[in-house]
Amino acid sequence: MKRRVVLGLLILVFVIASETFGAEEKWPTRPITTYIGYAPGGGMDMLGRLMSEEMKKTLGVAMPVVNMAGANGAIAMDHVYKQPKDGYTLCGISSSQATYPATGLSKLTYKELGILGIVFGFLPIFSVPWDSPIKTAQELIDGLKKGGLTGSNSGIGT
């Protein structure tokens, strides 16, 4: 008798669980839009389009890419951040987002978005003239701490 009661309860739990979980909406059911914060034709744009094409094959829904250039990607990132958190809006970001608070472009950083993965990355490279007395990274750090060194970069995020 106990076996039948336990078996009956297990079947009831299974039926209730399968109806509950079976009622969940299939995802995705509509297009997933990827916003790129840079002009068409750049590295992030090309990567975003390549990723969207491949994801479309797997997910079975349209994956449009929208370029929303301005403020070094901050406009697109702010737009995506304000969208419903339902998995239907993606943002292609680069390492420059880490500089937003320091540059005043936005208070947002990559930490405010759920990162799906890092597709590619660059290592920071520091160089000095060939005849510089600085020969190691530690010597560069020590020189920076003392002050008096000058430097440059090719733009935010580089």
CATH number of the domain residue 53 falls in = 3.40.190.150
Please report whether residue 23 resides in a domain: no
Look up the domain containing 98 and give its range. Answer: 33-112
The CA R_g of the chain, rounded to the nearest whole Å, is 25
**Beta bridge pairs of residue 90:** 34
Instruction: Report how far residue 119's alpha carbon sits from residue 94's, in angstroms, rounded to the nearest whole number.
Output: 10
Number of domains the chain contains: 1
Residue 25, pLDDT score: 72
Please report whether residue 96 resides in a domain: yes
Please report whether residue 93 resides in a domain: yes
Residue 26, pLDDT score: 87
Residue 84, pLDDT score: 93
Instruction: Report how far residue 69's alpha carbon sits from residue 35's, in angstroms, rounded to the nearest whole number.
Output: 9
DSSP structural state of residue 156 = T
Instruction: Report how far residue 61's alpha carbon sits from residue 20's, in angstroms, rounded to the nearest whole number.
Output: 25
Please report whether residue 84 resides in a domain: yes
Please report whether residue 125 resides in a domain: no
Residue 79, pLDDT score: 94
Residue 72, pLDDT score: 85
Residue 24, pLDDT score: 59
Instruction: Report how far residue 120's alpha carbon sits from residue 51's, in angstroms, rounded to the nearest whole number.
Output: 12
Query: Running along the chain, 158 residues long, what does each successive block of 10 average in pLDDT?
Result: 45 46 75 92 87 91 94 90 92 78 81 69 72 90 86 60
Please report whether residue 75 resides in a domain: yes
